[in-house]
Amino acid sequence: MRSRVNRRLIAGVAAVGIAALALAGCTGDIADDGETGDCGPYEQYGTFDGASVTISGTILDLEADRLVESWKDFAACTGIDISYQGTSEFEAQIAVLADGGNAPDIGIVPQPGLLQRLQAGGWLIPASDAVVANIDQWWDPAWKAYGSVDGTVYAAPLMASIKGYIWYSPSEFADKGYEIPKTLDELTELSEKIAAEGDHQPWCVGLESGEATGWPGTDWVEDYVLRLSGPEVYDQWVTHEIPFNDPAIVEAFDAVGDYLKNPDMVNGGFGDVSTQISEAFQTAGLPILDGECSLHHQASFYETFWNPDGGTSNTVGSDGTVYAFLLPPENEGDPQAVTGGGEFPVAFRDAPEVEAVRAYLSSDTWANIRVGLGGVISANKGVDPDNASSELLKQSIEILQGDTTFRFDGSDLMPGAVGADSFWKGIVAWVGGQSTQDTVDAIEASWPSS
């Protein structure tokens, strides 16, 4: 899911002015080919001949093309000319644009923290009744909360990702008799077994992502907080009801450190522990393909990274080149809990055509079309998992629709000074040798006082 990837990447791009936002973007407009499909599904949105709506976000390349394709019939049937601009400068510049009155009609915001900052600036339009009704019908209440501020809904969810997947080679597991672990202890035992065989270190890890270097490590910690301490403590942590240096967070760091700070465990295919800091997250899992690593922790969006040359030779599936299982619970039988991410289309202009677009994007109709175009998942309960473009993405949708405890990426919910700064930097210092206590104490000290 490239949108989740871009959200991390853009933090390493310096702001270069408002003009760069337009110049750096890739755009897509609905083609007027004179042909319109069945307009029945779109009659409820009305007609707006001659109206136009501009949308911007971090979604780029193939995913941007598919996004534009997903509203083609809607646009043709409603008469709304929808123009999309994707840019790596979105997060760096959207507040500047809004403050100057130059924001797009709709901004696809990739985390709740940014939505809250835009709302605090007084720039956002509350969601219409139609959007809120769709959220109530199609999403778990937690997703509604992520798009709300002080009880007012500002956006519905769009797409989603699931974090905490462990990527592996099915053929290696079959050849060596490895089994998918059902508990965290079994994962440790598997890792120790692979390490003892001496062929390679079991885990390959890459933390490098420009100025956002360190973020993959935050995902590890978030997954362990949720599994070891549960959703209540997780929520208290991200809202600072408990301090960042609470014993529960220390426990999670130390559990992750058994892998990331252990030279017997990392860094397969790259070298010693220190190479995690310089190895790019995009290529960090690839040693699995060469038998130099057996396990890689990364989100569902990593499916798109197994063919870096753009080919199709490396397949993703239970009988494919690579596949993934979820980081297991602490104890077998514990309720399933996952972390993840998503986007939220916020409105900067109060107009019926803008809300018509947002209502469509919050519908099960749109979600099924977009999922069917490939490469993404949605937490919309109206999505048919069979529309997913791969076995893993189908499984991911079923997880989101099932009896699963879902929590948004913790760093995305924390203040920017922590979640997009000191937490990332703390992971780098910690992997580099700093103690857990010194690390969490420093991050706690960085938490804004108000």
Please tell me the CATH superfamily of domain 2-159+343-382, with its number: Periplasmic binding protein-like II (3.40.190.10)
Strands 81-86 and 52-57: parallel
Supply the pLDDT for residue 402.
86
d(CA 51, CA 81): 6
DSSP states of 298-361 as a string? E-GGGGGGS-TTS-S-S-BSTTSSBEEEEPPPSSTTPPPEEEEEE-EEEESS--HHHHHHHHHH
- What is the pLDDT, as a whole number, of residue 404? 87
> What would the mean pLDDT of 69-82 be, rounded to a whole number?
98
* Mean pLDDT to the nearest integer, 47-54: 96
CA distance readout (Å), 123 to 82, 101, 149: 21, 9, 13
| Residue 23 pLDDT level (bands cut at 50, 70, 90) | very low
- Please state the rounded mean pLDDT for residues 77-96: 93
**pLDDT of 236:** 98
- Given a cut of 60, whether residue 369 has pLDDT beyond it is yes
For position 416, what pLDDT does the model report? 85
- Percentage of residues of the chain with pLDDT beyond 70: 92
> In this predicted structure, what is the pLDDT of residue 88?
80
pLDDT at 80: 98
Position 17 scores a pLDDT of 38
Domain 165-339+419-446 matching CATH 2.60.120.10: the answer reads no
Measured between alpha carbons, how far is 121 from 250 in angstroms, rounded to an integer?
35
Residue 316 has pLDDT above 50, yes or no: yes
Each residue of 221-247: pLDDT tens digit? 999 999 999 999 999 999 999 999 999
Domain with CATH 3.40.190.10 in the chain: 2-159+343-382, 165-339+419-446
Mean pLDDT of 298-317: 88
Q: What is the mean pLDDT of the chain?
A: 91
Q: By mean pLDDT, which of 63-67, 135-139, 303-307 is the weakest?
A: 303-307
Compute the average pLDDT of residues 430-443.
99
Residue pair 72/3 in contact (Cβ under 8 Å)? The answer is: no
The strand pairing partners of 153, in sequence order, are 148
pLDDT of residue 35: 57
Amino acid at 237: W
Buried b vs exposed e over 234-247: b needs ≥16 C-beta within 10 Å? bbebbeeebbbbbe
Q: Is the pLDDT of residue 343 over 60?
A: yes
Give the 3-state secondary structure of 140-174.
CHHHHHHCEECCEECCCCCCEEECCEEEECHHHHH
pLDDT of residue 1: 33
Tokens linked to 354: 């803008």
In this prediction, residue 27 has a pLDDT band, given cuts at 50, 70 and 90, of: very low
The pLDDT confidence band at residue 36, using thresholds 50, 70 and 90, is low
The answer to whether residue 263 scores a pLDDT higher than 90 is yes
SS3 200: coil
Tell me: the pLDDT tens digits for 382-428?
A: 999 999 999 999 999 999 998 889 999 999 999 989 998 999 999 99
Mean pLDDT of 315-330: 96
pLDDT tier for residue 91 given thresholds of 50, 70 and 90: confident
Mean pLDDT of 68-78: 98
What is the C-alpha separation between 112 and 126, in angstroms, rounded?
15
Among 107-116, 275-284, 347-356, the least confident range:
107-116
pLDDT score recorded for residue 15: 35
Beta bridge partners, 227, equal none
pLDDT score of 159 more than 90: yes
Write the pLDDT tens digit of every residue in 162-197. Answer: 999 999 999 999 999 999 999 999 999 999 999 999
